Amino acid sequence: MFGVSIDEIIGDKEVSEVIRKVNAEETVDGSELKEIAPIMKPEKLKESFEKIEKEVKESDGSRGR
């Protein structure tokens, strides 16, 4: 919109990459989510957390086989 990248606004390429992944609905891990939680909308944070939680439960279930 203003010709400025998210990297330039945030000032941190790692955080910018996590934001990109969340917006693209890609998988992020808990530590990545923790990094951007303070700047996320509560609804999006909850959605992302629930996705991680579901994946962890599915992963734990498959280990017991």
Question: Is there a domain that residue 27 lies in?
Answer: yes
What is the tens place of the pLDDT at every residue in 13-35? 888 888 888 889 888 888 888 88
Angle at 4 between CA 25 and CA 17, to 5 degrees: 30
Average pLDDT over residues 26-51: 89
Q: What would the mean pLDDT of 4-21 be, rounded to a whole number?
A: 76
| 17 inside domain | yes
Tell me if 30 is assigned to some domain: yes
Do 34 and 10 form a contact (C-beta atoms < 8 A)? no
Residue 26, domain extent: 6-63
Q: How many domains does the chain have?
A: 1
In a domain, 33, yes or no: yes
Tell me, yes or no, whether 21 lies in a domain: yes
Please indicate, yes or no, if residue 1 is contained in any of the structural domains.
no
